[in-house]
């Protein structure tokens, strides 16, 4: 039976604003936006982690060399002029006028070179670019040159990547930090400054408009164009109780919810002064990450048994109900078009519970509890964990459902320890369709040396990734992508759980929200 969706009571929102916040609002409440983020911000470095909470933070603090517009075409952002040699191997980039770091220092080409190299050590698309890079050096304080061993067709797409890991530019002294060590000093050149002295972990993150930021002249278009800050202050208030967040929006305590609880969306839609709207044009995919290092999912037969038991409609109803558009999709690279790969085309196993139970036992499952991490403060993802636990029990597995907040899950998922020693077996998460459409963008299906959390390794996938990356014929690329999809299903890199259209909710006096896979606060105004 499908998981019954929770019913949350509507309770009064507490007085969450500090005296300092109230003084700021008293000066001009139209210049302060109070939002509820998708979780508690703990990791501050968007190169070190792929979590969307940190990515959204990154877009406020840092800027990018290029950015994708509303048609997902790369456009110059920090770059003023750029050119490429006739053989496609030498790219020259010159920074535009007026770029300054939040500490007042000018942005230099050396800063950008160091930032690209650090990002290139962490991100799949960045690693692919670095593999064909012969040299990357400053030519003068505002110009740098990228020389390639051979031409590739994704240089601007890489530098303008919109989803995690986004190639944000940092000062050289920070960008020289080991890529496996998180940067803790928040000095960017973006439209907002991070106010560390007002940051209260577990409660509040505050940003203020960077008055020396010089936006581009073009109109804002998704992550591209002029990043005009029309508000002075953003207060991001962590509110794990969904009913409190919803009531706070309805009563005006909050201005915007970045990830409203799906089962409370109808209540918000009926509220007179609240707008609920789709934010990402392509939507999101859900998927189940499996730990390939430890039993039982170190064996592909066990992973296939669980995949065969998954019923995507149950997961979609448990999380989104029936009032938000959803669709089944068995592909690791998403179903962006109206028609996506069919389950039978991908070789997705379809098993009854009894068949899956037998297959799970035959794969060597010995009855030990399977650790499922449940981000209880995340109204979008927590139902997936509950549905996963129910699916496992249906096929005869013992389950240890561990409740934690999302930021705690982000920290624990990095552990390679045994599940009963601080590690894990399963967690569920989401990703934008924009960010998973091909092997260079999709960090979540990396394998072996580039493996994401869960650490899958299938050398066939690595070989197909390389073949796709360096294939110049689009028709051949499409065929390789089909092979990749089937291989990912056969190996069970992770288990797709379906797609949905994300929504945000805000007060009716908030205008200028830019649709995109991330939530952008420039161009936003409060009337």
Say which CATH number the domain at 212 has: 3.40.190.10
Tell whether 10 is covered by a domain: no
Neighbours of 524 (CB within 10 A): 23
pLDDT for the residue 338:
60
Average pLDDT rounded to a whole number, residues 440-457: 95
Whether 412 and 314 map to the same domain: the answer is: yes
The answer to whether the CB of 248 falls within 8 A of the CB of 12 is: no
Nearest to 505 by CA among 253, 228, 254, 163: 254
**Which position has the token pair 């960090």?**
443
Tell whether 378 is covered by a domain: yes
pLDDT for the residue 341:
81
Say which CATH number the domain at 179 has: 3.90.76.10
Tell whether 47 is covered by a domain: no
Whether 157 and 248 map to the same domain: the answer is: no
Q: How far is CA 494 from CA 9, 251, 406, in A?
A: 35, 41, 19
Residue 2 binned pLDDT confidence (cut-offs 50, 70, 90): very low
- In the structure encoding, which two tokens stand for residue 71, read together? 């048609």
Tell whether 120 is covered by a domain: yes
Average pLDDT rounded to a whole number, residues 180-202: 97
Residue 337 binned pLDDT confidence (cut-offs 50, 70, 90): low
Tell whether 359 is covered by a domain: yes
pLDDT for the residue 4:
41
Q: What is the DSSP string of 374-416?
A: EETT-TTTHHHHHHHHHHHHHTT--EEEEEE-HHHHHHHTT--
Q: How many CA atoms lie within 13 A of 432 on its CB side?
A: 22
Last residue of a domain, one of 189, 215, 232: 189
Average pLDDT rounded to a whole number, residues 87-94: 98
Residue 24 binned pLDDT confidence (cut-offs 50, 70, 90): low
Tell whether 484 is covered by a domain: yes
Say which CATH number the domain at 455 has: 3.10.105.10
**Total domains present in the chain:** 3
Whether 185 and 200 map to the same domain: the answer is: no
- In the structure encoding, which two tokens stand for residue 174, read together? 């920070």
Neighbours of 36 (CB within 10 A): 26
pTM of the model: 0.91
Last residue of a domain, one of 189, 220, 247: 189
Task: For strands 274-278 and 503-507, give the pairing.
Answer: antiparallel
pLDDT for the residue 361:
98
Last residue of a domain, one of 155, 189, 223: 189
Whether 200 and 303 map to the same domain: the answer is: no
Torsion of CA 266, 270, 274, 279, to 10 degrees: 40
- Name the β-bridge partners of 206: 235
Taking the C-alpha atoms of residue 121 and residue 490, their distance in angstroms, rounded to an integer, is: 29
Whether 255 and 379 map to the same domain: the answer is: no
Q: How far is CA 416 from CA 293, 331, 351, 366, 420, in A?
A: 8, 27, 30, 21, 11
Average pLDDT rounded to a whole number, residues 323-336: 91
Residue 324 binned pLDDT confidence (cut-offs 50, 70, 90): confident
pLDDT for the residue 5:
41
Whether 515 and 452 map to the same domain: the answer is: no
Q: What is the DSSP string of 271-319?
A: STTEEEEE--SS-EEEEEEE-SSSTTTTSHHHHHHHHHH--HHHHHHHH
Tell whether 102 is covered by a domain: yes
The answer to whether the CB of 52 falls within 8 A of the CB of 39 is: no
Whether 345 and 412 map to the same domain: the answer is: yes
Whether 263 and 179 map to the same domain: the answer is: no
Average pLDDT rounded to a whole number, residues 275-282: 92
Whether 115 and 261 map to the same domain: the answer is: no
Whether 349 and 449 map to the same domain: the answer is: yes
Torsion of CA 52, 56, 62, 64, to 10 degrees: 70
The answer to whether the CB of 288 falls within 8 A of the CB of 314 is: no
Q: Which domain holds residue 129?
A: 52-189
Q: What is the pLDDT of residues 104-162, one digit of tens each?
A: 999 999 999 999 999 999 999 999 999 999 999 999 999 999 999 999 999 999 999 99
Whether 300 and 339 map to the same domain: the answer is: yes
Average pLDDT rounded to a whole number, residues 371-400: 97
Tell whether 3 is covered by a domain: no
pLDDT for the residue 95:
98
Whether 508 and 450 map to the same domain: the answer is: no
Residue 414 binned pLDDT confidence (cut-offs 50, 70, 90): very high
Q: Residues 6 or more apart from 50 whose CB is under 8 A from it?
A: 164, 165, 443, 444, 452
């Amino acid at each position: 039976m499908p998981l019954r969706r929770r019913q949350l009571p509507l309770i009064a929102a507490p007085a969450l604003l500090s005296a300092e916040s109230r003084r700021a609002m008293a000066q001009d409440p139209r210049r302060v936006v109070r939002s509820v983020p998708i979780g508690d911000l703990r990791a501050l470095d968007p190169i070190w982690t792929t979590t969307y909470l940190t990515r959204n933070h990154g877009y406020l603090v840092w800027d990018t060399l290029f950015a994708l517009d509303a048609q997902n075409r790369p456009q110059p952002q920090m770059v003023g002029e750029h050119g490429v040699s006739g053989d496609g191997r030498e790219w020259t980039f010159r920074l535009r006028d007026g770029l300054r770091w939040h500490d007042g220092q000018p942005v230099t080409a050396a800063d950008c070179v160091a930032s690209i190299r650090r990002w290139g050590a962490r991100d799949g698309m960045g690693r692919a670019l670095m593999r064909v890079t012969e040299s990357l050096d400053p030519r003068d304080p505002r110009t740098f040159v990228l020389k390639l061993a051979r031409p590739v067709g994704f240089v601007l797409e890489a530098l303008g990547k919109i989803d995690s890991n986004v190639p944000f530019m940092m000062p050289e002294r920070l960008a020289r930090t080991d890529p496996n060590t998180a940067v803790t000093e928040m000095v960017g050149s973006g439209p907002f400054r991070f106010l560390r002295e007002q940051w209260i972990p577990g409660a509040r993150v505050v940003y203020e408009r960077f008055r020396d930021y010089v936006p581009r002249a073009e109109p804002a278009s998704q992550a591209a164009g002029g990043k005009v800050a029309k508000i002075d202050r953003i207060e991001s208030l962590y509110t794990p109780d969904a009913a409190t967040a919803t009531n706070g929006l309805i009563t005006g305590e909050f201005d915007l919810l970045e990830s409203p609880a799906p089962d409370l969306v109808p209540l918000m839609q009926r509220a007179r002064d609240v707008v609920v709207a789709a934010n990402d044009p392509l939507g999101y995919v859900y998927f189940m990450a499996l730990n390939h290092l430890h039993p039982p999912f170190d064996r592909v037969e066990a992973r296939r048994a669980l995949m065969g038991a998954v019923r995507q409609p149950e997961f979609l109803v448990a999380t989104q109900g029936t009032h938000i558009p959803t669709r089944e999709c068995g592909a690791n690279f998403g179903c962006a078009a109206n028609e996506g790969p069919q389950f039978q085309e991908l070789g997705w196993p379809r098993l009854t519970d009894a068949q899956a139970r037998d297959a799970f036992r035959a794969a060597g499952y010995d009855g030990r509890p399977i650790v499922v991490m449940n981000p209880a403060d995340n109204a979008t993802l927590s139902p997936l964990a509950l549905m996963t636990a129910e699916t496992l029990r249906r096929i005869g597995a013992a389950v240890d459902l561990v409740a934690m907040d999302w930021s705690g899950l982000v920290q624990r998922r990095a552990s390679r320890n045994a599940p009963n020693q601080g590690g894990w077996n399963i967690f569920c998460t989401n990703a934008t369709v924009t960010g998973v459409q091909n092997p260079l963008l999709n960090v979540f299906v990396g394998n072996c040396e580039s493996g994401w959390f869960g650490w899958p390794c299938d050398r066939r996938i690595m070989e197909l990734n390389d073949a796709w990356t360096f294939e110049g014929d689009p028709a051949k690329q499409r065929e390789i992508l089909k092979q990749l999809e089937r291989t990912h299903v056969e190996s069970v890199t992770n288990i797709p759980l379906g797609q949905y259209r994300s929504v945000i909710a805000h007060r009716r006096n908030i205008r200028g929200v830019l649709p995109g896979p991330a939530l952008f606060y420039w161009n936003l105004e409060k009337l």
